[in-house]
Amino acid sequence: MSKAIGSEIESKPARVYDLGLTGLPLAERKGINLPTPENLQRVADDAAVKRFVESKTANVSPDVLGRSWGVSREFVLFVQRLEATVIEQGREIEWLKSQSYGTTGPHMRDVERRG
């Protein structure tokens, strides 16, 4: 006889299929952005930086920038890629700094501590 799909889940204890997200506060879960004043300001600042950067170099052709700067088109393309990489890494560094795991990392969350 065949079992109904999903019936085996109800027979298992809750810890078997726990995703591990229940222990984290809502604000610290990955992908969740609560509308706090700090988060709203951060999103607005990121958007302003992105608009500024796009208005400076991204919407201008490399040929026009090369002529105005007096450099080759390849150099302008290189500078644009470099600038995008620096901005992306800056955002990643800010995100990593915003993560607070206390004195130990998340990999040590379930490790037993002895006096």
- Tell me the per-residue pLDDT of 23-59, one tens digit each, with 9 for 90 and over: 677 767 777 777 788 888 888 898 888 877 666 655 6
Residue 105 belongs to some domain of the structure: no
- Does pTM top 0.75 for this prediction? no
Handedness of CA 5, 11, 12, 18 (dihedral sign): positive
Residue 83 belongs to some domain of the structure: yes
Task: Average the pLDDT over 1-5 and give the result.
Answer: 54
Mutual angle of helices 73-98 and 37-53, in 10-degree steps: 170
What residue numbers bound the domain in which 67 lies?
Answer: 35-100
Q: At a CB cut-off of 8 Å and minimum separation 6, what does 23 contact?
A: 109
Q: Tell me which range, 6-15, 34-43, 56-65, 85-94, is most confidently predicted by mean pLDDT.
A: 85-94
Query: What total of structural domains would you count in the chain?
Result: 1
